[in-house]
Amino acid sequence: MKRYEIHPAHAESPLRVAEFEPAPLGEHEVAVAIKAVSLNYRDLLVSRNTYFCNIPNGLVPCSDGAGDVVAVGKQVRLLAVGDRVATLFFPHWQGGRPDAASVTGALGAESAGAFTERFVSDESGLIKLPAGLSHAEAATLPCAALTAWNCLFEAGTLVPGQTVLLQGTGGVSIFALQFAKAAGARVIITSSSDAKLERARALGADHGINYKTHPDWSQEALRVTGGRGVDVVIEVGGPGTLEQSLASVCIGGRIAYVGVLTGLAGQANPVMLIPKAAALHGIFVGSRAMFADMLGAMTLHGIKPQIDREFAFGEAPAALARLESGGHFGKIVIRVGG
């Protein structure tokens, strides 16, 4: 069987295909024939060993996979051979508030990831899929989609009629656009590309701002909200964009701090959160319970993940390069297995 391994020490070509023999299945374990994985910006950080934790040479990458159950251990109760499943980013975060135990073992960084023909996990680390999603679509959900869901409806406490501000047209932001529109919210989205803003409008975005031609885009966000500001911001940038988000958020609003696209060390002054009585909330993906809610909403509203491009198994380096280029809109998927 084949899987990808990451070798951060080989900076020029960190992704390698390796042959392996699957280990015997434990009593509580499930074997999944992975059919597709999706890439996240995090996979770039992992491949460069600049993620939050140290990445050992040989780690199997990717948190996000979907496939078919092909074998189950004797004590497995909830899954059966033939079930279609997706991986959980945090296999131990089943529900409730995160704690030290639930946010350990993240796939594709702290434990072996999904970029393998045969993925083995305790059944609690997998979630059964509804019929309406293909493997490729389902493979886009465990990280980006769940993060967007958590930002909007858990940390963001979004209600219909409120305004959401999204940055760029990558995986998290495009899922957030789709979810926010389904929930009856108004969406303002930024992008470096007018063509991508058009695509976002076609998906329901109410206002698009080109952050290259409007680097001070909070002014535009305030203008289109009549000076009030936005209720929820999903902050995927960091230094530079966080200052704009702090200026854009309304009194009583929430900034969900998710990403590091513009770097790790910023100078943003959060003091305006005080008179605005606004919240800055760090987000780390989400739990199985949130995933189940999200799948229910996607089924009800017929939400289909926006797949930028699907690559063949052997094209993983090209897929990672596409992610790095920032040319994508939504998610990049790689097919696995036959």
Q: Residue 219: phi, psi to the nearest 5?
A: -60, -40
Residue choice 61, 237, 253, 305 for contact with ligand NAP (CB under 6 A): 237
Element holding 293 (H helix, E strand): helix 288-301
- Which residue's beta carbon is nearest to the bound ligand NAP? 170
Residue with smaller CB distance to ligand NAP, 29 or 154: 154
Residue choice 323, 333, 334, 336 for contact with ligand NAP (CB under 6 A): 323
Using CB under 6 A as the binding rule, the residues of this chain from 12 to 41 that contact ligand NAP are 40-41
Query: Can residue 169 be called a binding residue for ligand NAP (CB under 6 A)?
Result: yes
Structure tokens at 130: 């509804």
Write down the residue that tokens 């959900």 correspond to.
141
Euclidean distance between CA atoms 166 and 164, whole angstroms: 7
Query: Can residue 236 be called a binding residue for ligand NAP (CB under 6 A)?
Result: yes
Residue choice 144, 230, 295, 320 for contact with ligand NAP (CB under 6 A): 144
Shortest distance in whole angstroms from residue 248 CB to ligand NAP? 12
- SS3 of residue 66 by DSSP: strand
Nearest to 331 by CA among 98, 165, 106, 133: 133
Shortest distance in whole angstroms from residue 16 CB to ligand NAP? 22
Residue with smaller CB distance to ligand NAP, 64 or 123: 64
Shortest distance in whole angstroms from residue 202 CB to ligand NAP? 14
Using CB under 6 A as the binding rule, the residues of this chain from 38 to 57 that contact ligand NAP are 40-42
Residue choice 147, 163, 245, 287 for contact with ligand NAP (CB under 6 A): 147
Residue choice 167, 178, 248, 287 for contact with ligand NAP (CB under 6 A): 167
Exposed / middle / buried, residue 262 (Cβ in 10 Å: 0-12, 13-18, 19+) = middle
How do strand 64-72 and strand 29-39 relate by DSSP bridges?
antiparallel
Shortest distance in whole angstroms from residue 188 CB to ligand NAP? 12
CB 64 within 8 A of CB 142: yes
Exposed / middle / buried, residue 208 (Cβ in 10 Å: 0-12, 13-18, 19+) = buried
Query: Can residue 192 be called a binding residue for ligand NAP (CB under 6 A)?
Result: yes
Q: Could you please report the per-residue DSSP string of 238-280?
A: -TTHHHHHHHHEEEEEEEEE---TT-S-----GGGHHHHT-EE
Query: Can residue 305 be called a binding residue for ligand NAP (CB under 6 A)?
Result: no
Residue choice 3, 84, 181, 196 for contact with ligand NAP (CB under 6 A): 196
Nearest to 322 by CA among 191, 179, 171: 171
* Widest pairwise Cα distance in the chain: 62
Nearest to 228 by CA among 183, 170, 177, 188: 188
Residue with smaller CB distance to ligand NAP, 73 or 98: 98
Shortest distance in whole angstroms from residue 163 CB to ligand NAP? 17
Residue with smaller CB distance to ligand NAP, 69 or 176: 176
Query: Can residue 326 be called a binding residue for ligand NAP (CB under 6 A)?
Result: yes
How do strand 2-6 and strand 15-19 relate by DSSP bridges?
antiparallel
Shortest distance in whole angstroms from residue 232 CB to ligand NAP? 15
CA distances from 19 to 35, 172, 316 (A): 17, 32, 16
Q: What is the DSSP letter of 131?
A: T
The contact pattern for ligand NAP, residues 252-291, with x = CB under 6 A and - = no contact, is ------xxxxx--------------------xxx------
Shortest distance in whole angstroms from residue 125 CB to ligand NAP? 17
Q: How many residues bind ligand NAP (CB under 6 A)?
A: 31
Total length of the chain: 338
**Which spans of this chain sit near ligand NAP (rule: CB under 6 A)?**
40-42, 143-144, 147, 167-172, 190-193, 196, 211, 236-237, 241, 258-262, 283-285, 323, 326
